[in-house]
A = this chain, B = another copy of it.
Amino acid sequence: MDMPGEDIIRDGDLILLYYDRRRKWLVKASQRDFHTHKGIVDLGSSIGKMYGDHVESSLGYLFYLLKPTIYDFIMGPERPTQIIYPKDIGLILLKLDVAPGKSILEVGTGSGALTMALANLVRPNGHVYSYEVRPEFASIALKKLTNAGLNPYVTIRVGDAAEVIQEGEFDAAVIDIGEPWKVIPKLREVLKPSMPLASFSPTFNQVERTVKTLERFGFIDVSTIETLLRELKVEEGATRPFSTMIGHTGYVTFARRSL
C-alpha cells in the first residue's frame, strides 16, 4: 500500500476522508464536491496536500486526508454482511504464515476482504489463487483489488474449487464457503505436506463436520477458535467498554496437512 515519494496527494489518488471514528470514506482526489452531514468537502482542494493534512468543509469542520491502509480497504464500502472481520483475518494471516513469496489458495473469494489482506502480504513475488462460484462476487472482488492496486498478485477463477484446482503445491489454504468439507479432499492433494489451512464458518454444525472431515483426511493439529472484539470508550475518569458489540461473526478452524 505504501510507495516511496507518494506522500503528496495527486489527482486520482485514493484518500480515506476522516471526520471521526464513525464517519470515514474512501474517496478519490478529483475536482468534485463530496456531501456530508458536516458540510461539503471540495475534494479538489486535497490535491497537492500531504497525506495527514486536513481540509475544511463548507460548514467549517475539519476533515483529515489519510492514506488508505489495507485495513481501510477491508472495512471499506461494498461490504456484504458476511465479511470475515479484521479480528479473524489477522489471526488467519499469522496461523497460515502468509508472507512475501508464498503461494496461497483461497476457496471462496466472497467479498474479497481476506483476498486483499493475503495479496498485500505475498507481494512482490508470491501469489493468491482465489476461487468463487458466484460470478458477481468475483467481479466485485476484482474491482476492489484493482482499486487497491493489488490485482497483479491475485488470480480469481470463477468455478468450484473442488473441480478445477490444478496448480498444486500451495503453501497455505483458506476456505470460506458454506460446505468446507466438500473441498477438503482436494485440498489434501494440492496443499504441500506440513502446510497450514484455515476454514471460516458461522455455525457450530459446519465446524463439527469440517473438523470430522479434516481428521478423516489426515489433517493434524486441528483446532477451532472464535474471537470476540470489544471496544473501550476511553474518557478520562469514565472509561468503560462500549455498550454495543458484535456478538458473533464465525469460527475459524485451523489444521495442518500431514504427509
Nearest to A119 among chain B residues (CB) is: B99
User: How many subunits of this chain does the assembly comprise?
Assistant: 4
Question: Do residues A203 and B240 form an inter-chain contact, with CB atoms below 8 A?
Answer: yes
Measured in the bound complex, the distance between the Cα atoms of B233 and A223 in whole Å is 8
**For chain A, which range describes its interface: under 10, 10 to 19, 20 to 34, or 35 or more residues?**
35 or more
Q: Does A230 contact B (CB under 8 A)?
A: yes
Question: Do residues B243 and A249 form an inter-chain contact, with CB atoms below 8 A?
Answer: yes
Q: Which residues on B sit within 8 Å (CB–CB) of A50?
A: 193-194, 259
Q: Kindly supply a per-residue 1/0 record for chain A positions 219-237, scoring 1 wherever the CB is within 8 Å of any chain B CB and 0 otherwise.
A: 0111111111111101011
Question: Do residues B230 and A247 form an inter-chain contact, with CB atoms below 8 A?
Answer: yes
Q: Which residues on B sit within 8 Å (CB–CB) of A162?
A: none
Q: Which of B195, B236, B256 contacts A208 (CB 8 A)?
A: B236
Q: A94 to nearest B CB, angstroms?
A: 5
Question: Do residues A245 and B247 form an inter-chain contact, with CB atoms below 8 A?
Answer: yes
List residues 69-120 of chain A with CB under 8 A from any CB of chain B.
Answer: 69-71, 74, 86-87, 89-97, 99-102, 117, 120
Given contacts A7-B194, A69-B96, A240-B250, 17 further A-B contacts (CB under 8 A): A1-B99, A54-B259, A64-B221, A66-B194, A66-B256, A70-B97, A71-B95, A93-B93, A93-B94, A121-B121, A202-B240, A207-B239, A225-B231, A227-B228, A241-B247, A243-B248, A243-B249
